């Protein structure tokens, strides 16, 4: 990719801005970005010919109303040429996912999917849940639709194949079997209750099961149970029987499996009232590994084929596509998308729209699930809209709030103080908007909640003013909620006045007598009041307050745990993870390291005399 250029922002209208580029644009494939006056992305698009595509935006009278509005807001553009149109498609998906432009179809709830990792870099292979980069040597099975689906499968793998799930450190330091061995979910390789050869056989069976050969494993366990029974070894026979039951349980829980589909994602979308839900089912080795619903932001008039095409481009932007993707509607530029995914995967990826047979049944099941999920979503949205209107009426807001920010603090007698902010809106809790604040002021009195709240709000809104000074980017709250009483409200008001933001609506919620839920008191700048215990708005505000409290407590506990786990060695320059491990292996404990002299410390591999003296000084106050 090359030739990235940016526009002059001096053009008074969007159409003039676009026309100013036409002479210099090449007749080549590439990606273009439309930016507003603040440089925020409005739209990302790809084209087989940048010149022809951008020219179409200058024919203002032929543009749909929504596109005409986008063009009128455009004040600058950025272009990137690519070698092929497929390469442009991949870049477009990457930029849409990263920038989330206002006028694109955007996948909003794109969380990472978990995998099962069978580690093969240790004599005793470990089976574990895995997310993120694949840096560990082993075999990865997935994706699974959720952590719950992985946990159920891992639980079953333990019961059927008795593989260890513990860390290497736990494995190497046990002197007797753990509880998992007692309940017959591990073969206890840590204390030699199984030979390496027999453990390797269990690993081979687990790999066969994860590769879709569950019936082969079932027959093998059945034959072993009969052989043990014939030999009057009833204890072993009972063990094989329990493993067979666990395997049968797995097969039942997998639900609808596929006889003619080995590795594929089944993707079905449904639309209603301008909203779209896309349901994805994962099939690997012929087994159903769960499903997840996705909701996309897009224009009301976008067709299902266009939405699914945008979804697939973004969904596989950072994860490998399976050999087959089965969809319930013909995609826009389906052949180009398949070509782009095949190029990225370095193997053929087919996109199929079946009309009959088992594949049609699978995509029909996914479509029904998508419709049910969208029906629930729309019902929840209707209820949520009523609650937000109630909040607007209660606090005298001009309109139902699109963004509510709730703040809380957490500490124990002033130790490990943290602040937390959660965000809620028409679609519920917006967890990608949550923020943590480690309290940094050194001169705070221990437990000074008012000063902590002042610091959190100053940091939050000072930064927001720099990022979005015009207050048009959708990041500004329509209502600020503080967990506390009149004192907290006064402290928060002081910050807002100091920053010139006194127009922001703000309310504090104090707990009822004896911290009794349902008897909360609400404090605004105009009045103090309570609500009837049966009020739906009261319960909604309680949920907001409780979510902020949960998030603050979790943040505080994580910080406290980190501080507890810190070692004095962490404060010695030059002592990293490897040297710390060498010291602990040599001396056995931090206490023994503290009692050692410089000469003894210098005997450890990797510890020079100078570093040994620094370690000694750290423990002896020099």
User: What are 365's two structure tokens?
Assistant: 């099941």
Question: Do 363 and 324 reside in the same domain of the chain?
Answer: yes
Q: What single-letter DSSP state applies at residue 319?
A: S
Lowest-confidence segment of 39-48, 66-75, 106-115, 286-295 by average pLDDT: 106-115
Question: Do 365 and 509 reside in the same domain of the chain?
Answer: no
Q: Is residue 390 part of a domain?
A: no
* Displacement of CA 235 from its chain's centroid (Å): 45
Q: Is residue 461 part of a domain?
A: yes
298: left (phi > 0), else alpha (psi -120 to 50), else beta?
beta
**pLDDT tens profile 196-247:** 888 988 888 888 877 767 677 777 777 778 887 887 877 778 777 777 776 6
- Residue 90, C-beta contacts closer than 8 angstroms, at least 6 positions apart: 313, 317, 340, 343, 344
For 278, the enclosing helix (H) or strand (E) is strand 275-284
What CA–CA distances, in Å, run from 593 to 87, 390, 413?
A: 57, 62, 31
What CA–CA distances, in Å, run from 30 to 16, 45, 63, 361, 539?
A: 21, 9, 22, 38, 51
CATH of the domain at 17: 3.40.1440.10
CA distance 83 to 178: 58
Question: Do 34 and 14 reside in the same domain of the chain?
Answer: yes
pLDDT of 270 higher than 80 = yes
C-alpha angle 557-558-563 in degrees, rounded to nearest 5: 95
pLDDT band of residue 412 (cuts 50, 70, 90) is low
- Residue 348, C-beta contacts closer than 8 angstroms, at least 6 positions apart: 323, 342
Q: Is residue 340 part of a domain?
A: yes
CATH of the domain at 351: 3.30.420.340
Question: Do 518 and 541 reside in the same domain of the chain?
Answer: yes
Specify whether the CB–CB gap between 332 and 92 falls below 8 A.
no
Q: Which domain holds residue 612?
A: 568-619
Question: Do 455 and 513 reside in the same domain of the chain?
Answer: yes
Q: Is residue 237 part of a domain?
A: yes
**Buried-exposed string 16-39: b where 16+ CB fall within 10 A, e elsewhere:** ebbeebeeebeebbbbbbbbbeee
Question: Do 14 and 93 reside in the same domain of the chain?
Answer: yes
Last residue of some domain: 228, 253, 278? 253
User: What are 476's two structure tokens?
Assistant: 């500004």
Question: Do 187 and 330 reside in the same domain of the chain?
Answer: no
Question: Do 120 and 93 reside in the same domain of the chain?
Answer: no
Question: Do 20 and 37 reside in the same domain of the chain?
Answer: yes
* Whole-number pLDDT of residue 556: 78
**pLDDT tens profile 348-383:** 999 999 998 888 999 999 999 999 988 888 877 788
Classify residue 196 by burial, with Cβ atoms within 10 Å: 0-12, 13-18, 19+.
exposed
pLDDT of 278 higher than 90 = yes
CATH of the domain at 577: 1.10.150.20
pLDDT band of residue 414 (cuts 50, 70, 90) is low
User: What are 261's two structure tokens?
Assistant: 């589909």
Q: What single-letter DSSP state applies at residue 327?
A: E
Question: Do 93 and 231 reside in the same domain of the chain?
Answer: no
**Buried-exposed string 104-138: b where 16+ CB fall within 10 A, e elsewhere:** bbbbeebeebbbbbbbeeeebbbbbbbeeeeeeeb
* pTM across the whole model: 0.64
User: What are 604's two structure tokens?
Assistant: 């450890």
Find the helix packing angle between 147-161 and 234-253, rounded to 10°: 160
Question: Do 547 and 572 reside in the same domain of the chain?
Answer: no
Q: Is residue 6 part of a domain?
A: yes
Three-state secondary structure readout of 416-480: EEEEEEEEEECCEECHHHCEEEECCCCCCCCCCHHHHHHHHHHHHHHHHHHHCCCCCCCCCCCEE
Mean pLDDT, rounded, for 24-28: 91
Domain count, the chain: 5
Rg (CA), the chain: 30
User: What are 161's two structure tokens?
Assistant: 């194949």
Q: Is residue 399 part of a domain?
A: no
pLDDT band of residue 276 (cuts 50, 70, 90) is very high
State what percent of residues in the chain have pLDDT above 90: 34
Q: Is residue 382 part of a domain?
A: no
> What are the phi and psi torsion angles at 382 (to 5°)?
-65, -45
Last residue of some domain: 214, 234, 253? 253
Pairing of strands 127-130, 275-284: unpaired
* Whole-number pLDDT of residue 354: 93
Q: Of the candidates 283, 307, 289, which has an alpha carbon nearest to the alpha carbon of residue 359?
A: 283
Q: Is residue 398 part of a domain?
A: no
Last residue of some domain: 563, 579, 602? 563
Question: Do 329 and 370 reside in the same domain of the chain?
Answer: yes
């Amino acid at each position: 990719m090359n030739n990235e250029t940016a526009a002059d922002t001096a053009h008074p209208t969007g159409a003039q801005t676009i026309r100013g580029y036409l002479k210099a644009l090449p007749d080549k494939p590439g990606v273009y970005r439309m930016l507003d006056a603040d440089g925020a992305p409005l739209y990302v698009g790809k084209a087989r010919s940048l010149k022809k595509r951008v020219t179409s935006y200058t024919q203002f009278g032929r543009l749909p109303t929504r596109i005409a509005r986008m063009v009128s807001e455009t004040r600058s553009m950025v272009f990137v040429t690519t070698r092929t149109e497929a390469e442009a498609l991949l870049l477009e998906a990457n930029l849409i996912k990263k920038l989330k432009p206002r006028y694109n179809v955007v996948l909003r709830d794109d969380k990472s999917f978990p995998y099962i990792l069978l580690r093969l870099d240790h004599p005793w292979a470990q089976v574990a849940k895995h997310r993120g980069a694949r840096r560990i040597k082993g075999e990865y099975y997935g994706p699974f639709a959720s952590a719950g689906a992985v946990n159920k499968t891992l639980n079953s793998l333990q019961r059927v194949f008795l593989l260890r799930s513990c860390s290497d450190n736990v494995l190497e330091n046990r002197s007797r079997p753990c509880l998992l061995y007692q309940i017959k979910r591990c073969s206890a390789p840590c204390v030699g209750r199984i030979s390496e050869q027999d453990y390797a056989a269990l690993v081979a069976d687990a790999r066969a099961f994860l590769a879709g050969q569950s019936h082969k494993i079932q027959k093998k366990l059945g034959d072993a149970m009969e052989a043990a029974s014939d030999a009057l070894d009833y204890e072993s026979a009972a063990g094989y029987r329990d493993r067979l039951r666990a395997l049968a349980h797995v097969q039942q829980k997998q639900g609808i499996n596929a006889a003619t589909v080995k590795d594929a994602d089944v993707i079905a979308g449904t639309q209603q009232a301008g909203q779209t839900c896309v349901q994805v089912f994962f099939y690997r080795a012929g087994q159903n590994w769960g499903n997840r619903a996705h909701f996309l932001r897009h224009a009301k008039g976008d067709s299902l084929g266009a939405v699914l095409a945008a979804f697939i481009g973004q969904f596989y932007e950072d994860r490998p596509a399976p050999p087959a993707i089965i969809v319930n509607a013909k995609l826009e530029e389906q052949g180009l998308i398949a070509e782009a995914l095949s190029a990225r995967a370095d193997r053929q990826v087919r996109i199929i729209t079946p009309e009959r047979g088992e594949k049609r049944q699978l995509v029909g099941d996914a479509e029904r699930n998508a419709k049910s999920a969208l029906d629930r979503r729309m019902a929840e949205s209707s209820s949520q809209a009523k609650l937000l209107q109630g909040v607007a009426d209660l606090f005298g807001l001009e309109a139902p709030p699109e963004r509510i920010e709730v703040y809380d603090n957490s500490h124990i007698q002033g130790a490990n103080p943290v602040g937390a902010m959660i965000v809620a809106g028409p679609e519920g809790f917006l967890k990608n908007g949550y923020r943590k604040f480690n309290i940094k002021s050194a001169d705070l009195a221990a437990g000074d909640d008012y000063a902590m709240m002042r610091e959190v709000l100053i940091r939050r809104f000072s930064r927001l003013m720099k990022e979005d000074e015009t207050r048009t980017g959708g990041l500004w709250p329509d209502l600020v909620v503080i967990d506390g009483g009149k004192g907290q409200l006064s402290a928060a008001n002081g910050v807002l006045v100091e920053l010139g933001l006194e127009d922001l609506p703000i309310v504090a919620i104090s707990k009822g007598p004896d911290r009794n839920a349902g008897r909360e008191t609400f404090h605004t700048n105009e009045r103090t009041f309570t609500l009837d215990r049966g009020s739906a708005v009261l319960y909604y505000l309680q949920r907001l307050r409780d979510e902020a409290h949960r998030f603050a407590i979790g943040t505080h506990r994580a910080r406290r745990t980190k501080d507890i786990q810190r070692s004095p060695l962490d404060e010695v320059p030059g002592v990293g993870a490897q040297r710390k491990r060498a010291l602990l292996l040599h001396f056995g404990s931090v206490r023994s390291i503290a009692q050692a002299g410089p000469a003894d410390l210098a005997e450890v591999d990797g510890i020079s005399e100078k570093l040994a003296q620094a370690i000694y000084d750290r423990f002896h106050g020099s």
